[in-house]
Amino acid sequence: MNNHEIDYELFGDDMQFVQVELDPGETVIAEAGSLMMMDDGIAMETVFGDGSSNNQGGIMGKLLGAGKRVLTGESLFMTTFTNERSGKKRVSFASPYPGKIIPLDLSEFGGKVICQKDAFLAAAKGVTVGIEFQRKIGAGFFGGEGFIMQKLEGDGMAFVHAGGTLYKRTLEPGEVLRIDTGCLVAMTQNVDYNIEMVRGVKTALFGGEGLFFATLRGPGTVWIQSLPFSRLASRVFAAAPHAGGSSKGEGGIGGLFDLLGGDRN
């Protein structure tokens, strides 16, 4: 085993958090800002790159790891949490928005799982967080959020987050599933993945969906979310009052602000 062996427990239903139990000397890595709480005796350190112990090449290796994270839209830094005491200690990480946390034992999936770029939450130290490029260049230019994905490599536990309701699907050899690019959370490495354009000009322009969808071909396992954060954010933005416009509408954010006695000046 190259990764630290950690125990965990999930709490909650639609607003989940994961509690990781660390033995003395064990470490878990996590995205910056995902910490919920931790016991006394756990040392927190911000590290440059992906936080794994597998970066080789000194400073150049660390710069390469950090550069990969920038390409996926994540921070240059990750945070490590290490138990420096003699007894067991616990640290908890919370989901960024309503949904489910998916525990993945990478040793059960050939040591590698590919996930959406903003899905990673935490992992045992030793798990490498890198990038997975789509092989076909067309998908890179037109696939949007479905193009650059993260790859989690190692033989330990990793935790990814899905928005809304989680659906796990096992694809048989040759079986094809087409989904919205934002709804794809993760997939095993043997799933063939591509981006296809929606056929028909009218469908593309007036159908209310994106111009592209992801085509997944089995065999393999796929995890799908019903509410991508990008979709949730776009609905909130569309419903919010625009700057300079009237915000006193019934049920509006501005109306609520006035009701609570707020002063805009």
Q: State residue 135's pLDDT score.
A: 53
CB atoms within 10 A of CB 4: 23
Residue 198 belongs to a domain = yes
Q: State residue 201's pLDDT score.
A: 52
Give the total number of structural domains in the chain: 1
The answer to which of 81-90, 128-137, 186-195, 204-213 has the lowest mean pLDDT is 204-213
Per the structure, the complete domain to which residue 186 belongs is given by 7-232
DSSP character string of 87-111: S-EEEEEE-SSSEEEEEEEGGGGTT
pLDDT digits over 140-166, tens only? 444 444 457 889 999 999 999 999 999
Residue 238 belongs to a domain = no
Residue 261 belongs to a domain = no
* Sheet strands (E) in the chain: 7-11, 17-22, 27-31, 35-38, 42-48, 77-83, 89-94, 99-105, 112-115, 120-124, 128-132, 149-153, 157-163, 166-171, 176-180, 184-188, 192-197, 212-217, 220-225
Q: State residue 62's pLDDT score.
A: 55
Residue 118 belongs to a domain = yes
Residue 237 belongs to a domain = no
| Gap between the Cα atoms of 191 and 179, Å rounded | 14
202, pLDDT greater than 80: no
State pTM to two decimals: 0.78
Query: Ramachandran region of residue 232, left (φ > 0), alpha (ψ -120 to 50) or beta?
Result: alpha
Residue 240 belongs to a domain = no
Rounded to an integer, the average pLDDT of 159-179 is 94
Residue 41 belongs to a domain = yes
2, pLDDT greater than 60: yes
Residue 258 belongs to a domain = no
CATH number at residue 94: 3.60.160.10
